[in-house]
């Protein structure tokens, strides 16, 4: 495989995914400038050449320069990779908008849907940086700690501009990190966001010890309602059967590393949401995304019974056992009935 030698790339966000992508880009020959919003973390990353908070044990290659000054993002960047969690994305972009190179496309690895506006991360990026900005989205089953150990992983990058998708594919792809292209950024982005809601439900199943049959049914029917909402928003149905949909859903719902599944499991074991979130250093996107997913489904008249029950458990004090009972006692339907639930 040819590498992205001599490319300049800026990375916004110092979490696990931003750090991982920086390391992978540099390993492929790119010159990377990693921007962090936090001066103390910039100092740690420069001193240790390792992100001990979010991706311990992974050395930063020499090709990665860490900065707290967004003005140092390369003006001739081939692209800017955005890895800021959805709850903070808008504020971060507003803060550094003047320093983001105006001609550079954005490759977003953020998963979520903004509350209130109900915008996807790519839409937030365009809302802040300008509607003409080219934005690609990269998603799929990608546990950062596994990829950092060079374990095989496969993802998909989607963009309306095939050239930008190909650029990201070449820049990030390697023998252990296979990147496919897609022309459905809406579907890829929605799949990456909505699967986190189902992951919370899967964790609740684990916490309640409901067994493998229940979890298999949950993933299957969860994918149905994710696909249903995606289609209503203009996405291609087959995208949800691919890496960003089914692939990421399986990983998120079974991996012990999954933050959203872990939140659900703790709820199933009787802990409160506030207690769980207070103990977490990283963002569990599925919690906030649940609010957005329910609002979008109601706006577009789409039935999402699993998502509705997750919302009731998270925000309406419904007992998980009652939510399961209510799902299991819905009226009988044909499996492929479009307006039906689980």
Give the DSSP H/E element, type plus range, for residue 203: helix 185-208
| Cα(225)–Cα(127) distance, integer angstroms | 28
**Cβ-Cβ contacts under 8 Å for 300 (sequence gap 6 or more):** 229, 232, 233
- Reduced to 3 states (helix: H, G, I; strand: E, B; else coil), residue 275 is helix
Count of other CB atoms within 10 angstroms of residue 294: 18
| Cα(51)–Cα(73) distance, integer angstroms | 20
Q: Which of 111, 195, 215, 318 is the catalytic position?
A: 195
The token pair at 177 is 């990190």
The token pair at 165 is 């998708």
Decide the pairing of beta strands 153-158 and 135-139: antiparallel
Q: What is the DSSP string of 83-131?
A: ---HHHHHHHHHHHGGGS-TT--EEE------TTT---HHHHHHHHH-T
Q: What count of Cα atoms within 13 Å lies in the side-chain half-sphere of residue 240?
A: 26
The token pair at 304 is 């999402």
Q: What is the DSSP string of 3-57?
A: --TT-EEEEE--SHHHHHHHHHHHHTT-EEEEE-S-HHHHHHHHHHSEETTTEEE
Contact predicate 273/288, CB 8 Å: no
> For this structure, is 195 an active site residue?
yes
**HEC sequence for 121-171:** HHHHHHHHHCCCCCEEEEECCCCHHHHHCCCCEEEEEECCCHHHHHHHHHH
Contact predicate 16/84, CB 8 Å: no
Residues with active-site annotation:
195
């Amino acid at each position: 495989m040819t590498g992205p030698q001599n490319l300049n790339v800026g990375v916004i966000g110092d979490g696990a995914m931003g750090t991982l992508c920086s390391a992978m880009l540099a390993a492929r020959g790119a010159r990377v400038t990693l921007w962090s919003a936090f001066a103390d973390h910039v100092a740690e990353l420069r001193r240790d050449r390792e992100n001990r908070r979010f991706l311990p044990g992974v050395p930063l290659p020499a090709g990665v320069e860490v900065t707290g000054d967004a003005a140092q993002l390369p003006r001739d960047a081939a692209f800017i990779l955005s890895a800021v969690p959805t709850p903070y994305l808008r504020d971060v972009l507003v803060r550094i908008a003047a320093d983001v190179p105006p001609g550079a496309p954005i490759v977003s690895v953020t998963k979520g849907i903004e509350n209130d506006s109900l915008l996807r991360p790519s839409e937030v990026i365009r809302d802040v940086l300008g509607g003409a900005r080219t934005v690609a989205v990269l998603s799929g089953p990608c546990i950062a700690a596994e990829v950092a150990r060079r374990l095989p992983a496969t993802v998909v990058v989607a963009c309306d501009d095939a050239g930008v998708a190909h650029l990201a594919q070449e820049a990030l792809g390697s023998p252990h990190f296979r990147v496919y292209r897609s022309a459905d950024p809406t579907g890829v982005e929605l799949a990456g966001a909505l699967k986190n809601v189902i992951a919370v439900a899967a964790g609740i199943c684990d916490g309640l010890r409901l067994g493998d049959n229940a979890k298999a049914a949950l993933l299957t029917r969860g994918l149905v309602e994710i696909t249903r909402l995606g289609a209503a928003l203009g996405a291609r149905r087959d995208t949800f059967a691919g890496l960003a949909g089914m692939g990421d859903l399986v990983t998120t719902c079974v991996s012990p590393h999954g933050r959203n599944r872990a939140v659900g499991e703790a709820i199933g074991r009787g802990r409160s949401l506030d207690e769980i979130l207070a103990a977490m250093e990283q963002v569990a996107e599925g919690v906030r995304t649940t609010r957005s997913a329910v609002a979008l489904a109601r706006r577009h008249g789409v039935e999402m019974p699993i998502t509705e029950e997750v919302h009731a458990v998270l925000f309406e004090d419904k007992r998980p056992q009652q939510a399961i009972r209510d799902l299991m006692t819905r009226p009988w339907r044909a499996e492929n009935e479009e307006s039906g639930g689980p």
